[in-house]
């Protein structure tokens, strides 16, 4: 089986705005350059002259396409470098002028808020390096992303440098360059104008004989040429400054031996675009009409597959190849994983780092509602995308939509009749952890009695909880908080209201049993309320007891902010009490055993859950408190706790209150618990797929990847049940190998299990991505 067969059968690539696949003809040109025309274009022998010819032919094609002189084209390593040269040239010119006593005090550099980061960061960088005192003004855009022309007009007389883009890389929006030109060229003062044309090449006609752009930047890998090649159009007479000096290549602007294979390949693409411009048909490149038709098909499919979709792209004013959208109820990350599992590669509009959510600056500038920013996805196909790929994409998108609907986490959830989900019950039964921005919401559901309880609901989890409860026909028995919050109200009442349920609780935290036991109609578990004041005066913990075990063992404790993973809840609020906190920790120790799983209200360092024994071993203050040799007295505890709290940040970078200390150094096992796919024996290891169920059921390539059968699926959101099982059966377990799409999520779980003392657990390095790559390599070489 060939590499293409695998890719062609199941996967479709819709991330061409990031990098487009390289056209075969371009590959061949690069190969020819490497195998046959490999001489240095600066050498004076015939071989060198041949290489130079190819270089100049590519330059000629670029100049022809833009209707400019070939001497105005400079090859670079890509658009980012071309942007640096433009910015450095203008800023250096400003510096030179300042030396001649020209004042730039009131002058401005204008840049649209939706420019690629390369432009803004480059301006900041060179301004700092050149020590310039000139204001950078970011121009606002409207909710569709169009730059505010009035702002350009307003600042026109003070503007020296204007940076705009022809097409936005995230939304596909086309900028009306003619309108901007009209404005800036109406001024008596000279404005240097940079237009980032990376996403416009091949999609819009660009004629710089009729548009007074001074600098324009282009990149090969966005138009089916390789990475590492691009070019700059630099208008004659516009300021120029060398970025790299050396052997004088590219007329001294960008020295260094040229990337000849890359330029040769780019030349082939430029030549094709010129032919199309001249009216010829190229069978590889689709016409705009065809591309628009593709977009329509994809849009219709998306609307059907995801009924809560909102389109972020201004369809009337965009290139045909980009579709930016959001699906209510899902984060970009969740959607991307499901698309990935369904065989559709696309891009998330927001990035999530370990501590916070970072939204796209483009969508931020458009001032979209929070959920649309958090859920944004960019689908981008290329100029050479085939109809077969579009049809495969449609099939895979439909499958992704169905899987999400069946997962019941979709807000328009409907279990389809032909549900492929065999293990649905196991997905409902037990503890589910929903995490948003380091805050945990816990759901305990009993499939036998269809009853459930929610603990510590966050506002972000409300819609998802409601969808799950309704979809699975669960009866909500109680909504509990572990404490009142210092900075906000509980989400409890809104949740109940949205479910049209009456609040029957006896206390403000939602407890609705007259005793300290809540038998929430479950045949398996009961909850015991246990007062744990300290972090706040009203803090309580809820013990989850298994009614079937002889000693009614506490399996888990929902411990709120009293004990965090690697830390303790802060006790410096006006509603805190250090003395009570000291007693609480001692009382807890009398109740809990080492293997009791702690489910806290926060998970600040992606450790998922912990155990009481682990915290007593690793948590510095707890360790001292329970040191059997040197028992810590109350006074010493207060002093140390006060010191720890005084070192706490009041709020995190998003302005949210930090609820306790986290000491990462307590993560004892520093070695990476990873195993490569080559070392994995299915007979020896218990392989567990920890992706969410929707991802798992979409994946069909197990046999192709040499797995005898699909591994057991325990989604990350249900992994706490697995922790519970593993910790109590440690010696009976086979070694465990965890699998996800890229190896990140499985590594977090493996580390967490190691942290609680499970030695024989591993994350499969590189996940399914690496497994697939290795397999494809093995059949190709
Ligand atoms: N400008 C835009 C609009 C882009 O989309 C990109 C690539 O993401 C760049 C600039 C940077 O291009 P390169 O990767 O060639 O440096």
- Which DSSP symbol is given to 325? E
- Ligand 1 pocket check for 165: Cβ under 6 Å: yes
Kindly report the backbone phi and psi dihedral angles of residue 39, in degrees, each rounded to the nearest multiple of 5, phi listed first.
-65, 165
Place of tokens 């409890």: 492
Which tens digits make up the pLDDT trace of 98-140? 999 888 989 999 999 999 999 999 999 999 999 999 999 999 9
Of 34, 72, 71, 69, residue with least CA distance to 54? 34
How far apart are the C-alpha atoms of 781 and 774, rounded to whole Å? Answer: 11
Length of the chain: 781
Which tens digits make up the pLDDT trace of 635-654? 999 999 998 888 876 665 55
How far apart are the C-alpha atoms of 400 and 77, rounded to whole Å? Answer: 37
Q: Which atom of ligand 1 is nearest to the CA of 18?
A: 8
Q: 155 C-alpha vs ligand 1 centroid, how far in Å? A: 27
| Assigned token pair, 386 | 């085939």
Q: Which atom of ligand 1 is nearest to the CA of 78?
A: 15
How far apart are the C-alpha atoms of 481 and 490, rounded to whole Å? Answer: 8
In the prediction, which pLDDT does 661 show? 66
Q: State the sign of the Cα–Cα–Cα–Cα dihedral 765, 768, 769, 773.
A: positive
In the prediction, which pLDDT does 320 show? 98
Q: 116 C-alpha vs ligand 1 centroid, how far in Å? A: 7
Q: Does 616 or 408 have the greater pLDDT score?
A: 616
| Assigned token pair, 487 | 């900075």
In the prediction, which pLDDT does 489 show? 82
Q: Is the pLDDT of residue 537 over 90?
A: yes
Which tens digits make up the pLDDT trace of 443-467? 999 989 999 999 999 998 998 899 8
Supply the residue whose CA is at minimum distance from atom 6 of ligand 1: 198
In the prediction, which pLDDT does 412 show? 52
Q: 513 C-alpha vs ligand 1 centroid, how far in Å? A: 60
Place of tokens 């309108």: 179
Which tens digits make up the pLDDT trace of 68-94? 999 999 999 999 999 999 999 999 999
Q: 276 C-alpha vs ligand 1 centroid, how far in Å? A: 24
Q: Which helix (H) or strand (E) holds 556?
A: strand 554-560
Q: What is the 3-state secondary structure (H, E, C) of 287-306?
A: CHHHHHHHHHHHHHHHHHHC
3-class secondary-structure state, position 775:
helix
Q: Is the pLDDT of residue 352 over 80?
A: no
Q: 463 C-alpha vs ligand 1 centroid, how far in Å? A: 37
What band does 417 get if pLDDT is binned at 50, 70 and 90? very low
- Ligand 1 pocket check for 644: Cβ under 6 Å: no
How far apart are the C-alpha atoms of 83 and 195, rounded to whole Å? Answer: 9
Which residues have C-beta within 8 Å of that of residue 724, sequence separation ≥ 6? 555, 556, 597
- Ligand 1 pocket check for 378: Cβ under 6 Å: no
Supply the residue whose CA is at minimum distance from atom 9 of ligand 1: 79
Place of tokens 């995190």: 652
Q: 80 C-alpha vs ligand 1 centroid, how far in Å? A: 6
Supply the residue whose CA is at minimum distance from atom 10 of ligand 1: 79
Indicate the top mutation candidate among 77, 79, 216 to test ligand 1's pocket, ranked by most ligand atoms within 8 A of CB.
Answer: 79
- Ligand 1 pocket check for 196: Cβ under 6 Å: yes
Q: What is the 3-state secondary structure (H, E, C) of 700-749?
A: CCCCCCCCCCCCEECCHHHHHHHHHHHHHCHHHCCCEEEECCCCHHHHHH
Q: State the sign of the Cα–Cα–Cα–Cα dihedral 384, 387, 391, 397.
A: positive
Provide the percentage of residues in the chain whose pLDDT is more than 90: 71
Q: What is the mean pLDDT of residues 504-529?
A: 92
Q: What is the 3-state secondary structure (H, E, C) of 398-443?
A: HHHHHHHHHCCCCCCCCCCCCCCCCCHHHHHCEEEEEEECCEEEEE
3-class secondary-structure state, position 92:
helix
Which residues have C-beta within 8 Å of that of residue 493, sequence separation ≥ 6? 503
Q: 81 C-alpha vs ligand 1 centroid, how far in Å? A: 10
Q: Is the pLDDT of residue 580 over 80?
A: yes
Q: Is the pLDDT of residue 598 over 70?
A: yes
Least confident window among 334-338, 485-489, 753-757: 485-489
In the prediction, which pLDDT does 605 show? 82
Q: Does 264 or 706 have the greater pLDDT score?
A: 264
Place of tokens 């690496």: 770
613-631 burial, b at 16+ Cβ within 10 Å, e below that, comes to: bbbbbbbbbbeebbeeeee
Which tens digits make up the pLDDT trace of 377-390? 999 999 999 999 99
How far apart are the C-alpha atoms of 513 and 736, rounded to whole Å? Answer: 40
Q: Which atom of ligand 1 is nearest to the CA of 17?
A: 5
Provide the percentage of residues in the chain whose pLDDT is more than 70: 92
Q: What is the mean pLDDT of residues 652-657?
A: 60
How far apart are the C-alpha atoms of 705 and 397, rounded to whole Å? Answer: 22
Q: 334 C-alpha vs ligand 1 centroid, how far in Å? A: 26
3-class secondary-structure state, position 755:
helix
Least confident window among 131-140, 511-520, 539-548, 651-660: 651-660
How far apart are the C-alpha atoms of 627 and 649, rounded to whole Å? Answer: 28
Q: 119 C-alpha vs ligand 1 centroid, how far in Å? A: 9
Least confident window among 190-204, 398-412, 498-512, 543-557: 398-412
How far apart are the C-alpha atoms of 595 and 556, rounded to whole Å? Answer: 9
Ordered DSSP codes for 342-361: TTEE-EESEEE-SS-EEE-H
In the prediction, which pLDDT does 601 show? 95
Q: Which atom of ligand 1 is nearest to the CA of 118?
A: 10
What band does 665 get if pLDDT is binned at 50, 70 and 90? very low
Q: Is the pLDDT of residue 418 over 50?
A: no
Residue 197 to residues 165, 342, 774: CA-CA distances in angstroms? 6, 32, 36
Q: 125 C-alpha vs ligand 1 centroid, how far in Å? A: 17
Supply the residue whose CA is at minimum distance from atom 16 of ligand 1: 80
Which residues have C-beta within 8 Å of that of residue 389, sequence separation ≥ 6? 12, 13, 381
CA 470, chain centre distance (Å) = 29
How far apart are the C-alpha atoms of 276 and 4, rounded to whole Å? Answer: 28
Ordered DSSP codes for 32-54: HHHHTS-S-TT--SHHHHHHHHH
Supply the residue whose CA is at minimum distance from atom 13 of ligand 1: 79
- Ligand 1 pocket check for 324: Cβ under 6 Å: no
Place of tokens 């307003």: 154
DSSP percent split of the chain into helix, strand, coil, nearest 5: 40, 20, 40
In the prediction, which pLDDT does 453 show? 97
- Ligand 1 pocket check for 200: Cβ under 6 Å: no
Indicate the top mutation candidate among 16, 22, 80 to test ligand 1's pocket, ranked by most ligand atoms within 8 A of CB.
Answer: 80
Q: What is the mean pLDDT of residues 752-773?
A: 89
Q: What is the mean pLDDT of residues 258-282?
A: 97
Q: Which atom of ligand 1 is nearest to the CA of 83?
A: 10
Q: Is the pLDDT of residue 666 over 70?
A: no
Q: Which atom of ligand 1 is nearest to the CA of 230?
A: 15
Residue 559 to residues 87, 125, 443, 569, 677: CA-CA distances in angstroms? 54, 47, 14, 10, 38
Q: Is the pLDDT of residue 56 over 50?
A: yes
In the prediction, which pLDDT does 769 show? 85
What band does 705 get if pLDDT is binned at 50, 70 and 90? confident
Which residues have C-beta within 8 Å of that of residue 453, sequence separation ≥ 6? 443, 444, 476, 477, 478, 479, 480, 518, 520, 527
- Ligand 1 pocket check for 86: Cβ under 6 Å: no
| Assigned token pair, 432 | 């589910």
Residue 67 to residues 63, 64, 403, 541: CA-CA distances in angstroms? 6, 5, 50, 72
Indicate the top mutation candidate among 16, 75, 78, 115 to test ligand 1's pocket, ranked by most ligand atoms within 8 A of CB.
Answer: 78
- Ligand 1 pocket check for 431: Cβ under 6 Å: no
Given a contact cutoff of 8 angstroms between Cβ atoms, the answer to whether 231 and 218 are in contact is yes
- Ligand 1 pocket check for 230: Cβ under 6 Å: yes
Q: 657 C-alpha vs ligand 1 centroid, how far in Å? A: 37
Q: Is the pLDDT of residue 424 over 80?
A: no
Q: What is the mean pLDDT of residues 160-170?
A: 98
- Ligand 1 pocket check for 169: Cβ under 6 Å: yes
Task: Give strand ranges (E) for 240-315.
Answer: 309-311
Phi-psi map region of 566: left, alpha, beta (phi>0 left; psi -120 to 50 alpha):
left
- Ligand 1 pocket check for 226: Cβ under 6 Å: no
| Assigned token pair, 356 | 């916070």
Of 491, 509, 511, residue with least CA distance to 499? 491
Q: 222 C-alpha vs ligand 1 centroid, how far in Å? A: 8
Q: What is the mean pLDDT of residues 202-214?
A: 97
- Ligand 1 pocket check for 194: Cβ under 6 Å: no
Residue 701 to residues 12, 472, 748: CA-CA distances in angstroms? 14, 29, 24
Which residues have C-beta within 8 Å of that of residue 155, sequence separation ≥ 6? 108, 110, 137
- Which DSSP symbol is given to 222? G
In the prediction, which pLDDT does 662 show? 66
Which residues have C-beta within 8 Å of that of residue 42, sequence separation ≥ 6? 48, 52, 247, 249, 257
Given a contact cutoff of 8 angstroms between Cβ atoms, the answer to whether 108 and 155 are in contact is yes
In this structure, how many other beta carbons lie within 10 angstroms of the beta carbon of residue 526? 17
Indicate the top mutation candidate among 82, 170, 222, 228 to test ligand 1's pocket, ranked by most ligand atoms within 8 A of CB.
Answer: 222
Q: What is the mean pLDDT of residues 713-726?
A: 92
Q: 219 C-alpha vs ligand 1 centroid, how far in Å? A: 7
Q: 198 C-alpha vs ligand 1 centroid, how far in Å? A: 6
Mean pLDDT of the chain: 90
Least confident window among 6-15, 34-43, 142-151: 6-15
Q: 175 C-alpha vs ligand 1 centroid, how far in Å? A: 16
Q: What is the mean pLDDT of residues 501-527?
A: 91
In the prediction, which pLDDT does 670 show? 64
The DSSP bridge partners found for residue 439 are 436, 602
Q: Which atom of ligand 1 is nearest to the CA of 168?
A: 3
In the prediction, which pLDDT does 191 show? 96
| Assigned token pair, 318 | 């965009």
| Assigned token pair, 419 | 């549900």
- Ligand 1 pocket check for 199: Cβ under 6 Å: yes
- Ligand 1 pocket check for 326: Cβ under 6 Å: no
Task: Give strand ranges (E) for 106-226.
Answer: 108-112, 135-139, 159-165, 192-196, 215-219
In the prediction, which pLDDT does 99 show? 92
How far apart are the C-alpha atoms of 164 and 232, rounded to whole Å? Answer: 15
- Ligand 1 pocket check for 219: Cβ under 6 Å: yes
């Amino acid at each position: 089986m060939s590499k293409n067969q695998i890719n062609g059968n199941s996967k479709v690539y819709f991330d061409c705005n990031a990098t487009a696949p390289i056209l075969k003809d371009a590959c061949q040109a690069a190969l020819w350059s490497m195998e046959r025309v490999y001489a240095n274009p600066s050498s004076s022998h015939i071989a060198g002259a041949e290489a130079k010819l190819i270089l100049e032919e590519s330059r000629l094609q670029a100049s022809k396409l833009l209707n400019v002189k070939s001497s105005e084209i400079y090859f670079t390593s890509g658009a980012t470098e071309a942007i640096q040269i433009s910015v450095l040239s203008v800023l250096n010119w400003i510096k030179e002028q300042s030396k001649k006593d020209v004042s730039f005090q009131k002058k401005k550099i204008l840049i649209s808020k939706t420019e690629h980061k390369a432009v803004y960061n480059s301006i900041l960088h060179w301004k700092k390096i050149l020590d310039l005192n000139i204001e950078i003004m970011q121009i606002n855009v409207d909710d569709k992303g169009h730059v505010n022309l009035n702002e350009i007009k307003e600042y026109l007389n003070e503007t020296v440098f204007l940076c705009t883009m022809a097409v936005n890389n995230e939304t596909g929006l086309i900028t009306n360059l003619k309108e901007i030109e009209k404005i800036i060229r109406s001024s008596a003062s000279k404005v240097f104008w940079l237009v980032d044309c990376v996403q416009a090449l091949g999609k819009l006609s660009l004629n710089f004989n009729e548009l007074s752009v001074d600098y324009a930047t282009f990149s090969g890998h966005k138009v089916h040429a390789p990475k590492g090649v691009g070019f700059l159009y630099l208008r004659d007479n516009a300021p120029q400054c060398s970025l790299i000096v050396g052997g004088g290549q590219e007329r001294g602007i960008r020295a260094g031996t040229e990337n000849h294979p890359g330029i040769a390949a780019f030349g082939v693409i430029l030549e094709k675009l010129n032919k199309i411009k001249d009216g010829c048909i190229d069978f590889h490149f689709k016409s705009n009409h065809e591309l628009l038709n593709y977009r329509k098909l994809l849009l219709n499919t998306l609307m059907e597959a995801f009924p809560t979709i909102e389109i972020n792209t201004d369809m009337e004013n965009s290139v045909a190849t980009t579709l930016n959208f959001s699906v209510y109820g899902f984060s970009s990350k969740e959607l991307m994983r499901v698309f990935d599992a369904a065989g559709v590669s696309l891009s998330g509009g927001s990035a999530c780092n370990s501590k916070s959510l970072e939204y796209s600056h483009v969508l931020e500038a458009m001032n979209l509602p929070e959920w649309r920013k958090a859920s944004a996805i960019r689908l981008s196909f290329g100029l050479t995308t085939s109809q077969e790929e579009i049809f495969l994409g449609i099939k895979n998108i439909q499958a992704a939509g169905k899987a999400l609907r069946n997962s019941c986490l979709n807000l328009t959830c409907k279990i389809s009749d032909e549900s492929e989900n065999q293990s649905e019950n196991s997905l409902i039964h037990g503890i589910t952890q929903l995490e948003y921005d380091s805050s945990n919401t816990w759901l305990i559901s009993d499939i036998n009695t269809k009853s459930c309880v929610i603990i510590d609901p966050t506002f972000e989890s409300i819609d998802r909880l409601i969808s799950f409860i309704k979809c699975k026909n669960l009866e909500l028995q109680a909504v509990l908080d572990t404490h009142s919050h210092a900075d906000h109200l509980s989400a409890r009442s809104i949740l109940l209201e949205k479910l049209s349920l009456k609040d029957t609780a006896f206390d403000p935290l939602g407890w609705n049993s007259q005793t300290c036991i809540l038998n929430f109609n479950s045949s398996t578990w009961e909850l015991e309320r246990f007062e744990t004041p300290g972090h706040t005066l009203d803090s309580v913990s809820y013990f989850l007891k298994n009614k079937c075990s002889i000693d009614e063992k506490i399996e888990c404790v929902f411990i709120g902010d009293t004990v965090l993973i690697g830390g303790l809840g802060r006790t410096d609020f006006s509603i805190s009490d250090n003395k009570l906190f000291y007693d609480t920790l001692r009382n807890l120790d009398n109740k809990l055993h080492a293997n009791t799983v702690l489910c806290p209200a926060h998970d600040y360092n992606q450790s998922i859950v912990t155990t009481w024994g682990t915290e007593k071993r690793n948590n510095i203050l707890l360790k001292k408190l329970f040191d059997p040799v040197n028992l810590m007295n109350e006074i010493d505890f207060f002093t140390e706790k006060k010191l720890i709290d005084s070192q706490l940040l009041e709020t995190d970078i998003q302005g949210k209150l930090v609820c306790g200390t986290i000491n990462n150094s307590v993560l004892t096992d520093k070695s990476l618990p990873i195993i490569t796919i080559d070392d994995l024996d299915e007979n020896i290891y218990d392989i567990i797929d920890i992706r969410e169920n929707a991802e798992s059921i979409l994946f069909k390539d197990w046999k192709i990847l040499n797995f005898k059968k699909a591994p057991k699926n325990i989604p990350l959101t249900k992994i706490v049940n697995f922790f519970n099982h593993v910790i109590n059966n440690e010696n009976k377990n086979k070694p465990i190998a965890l699998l996800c799409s890229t190896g990140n999520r499985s590594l977090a779980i493996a580390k967490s299990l190691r942290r609680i003392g499970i030695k024989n657990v591993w994350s499969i390095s590189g996940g399914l991505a690496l497994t697939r790559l290795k397999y494809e390599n093995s059949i190709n070489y």
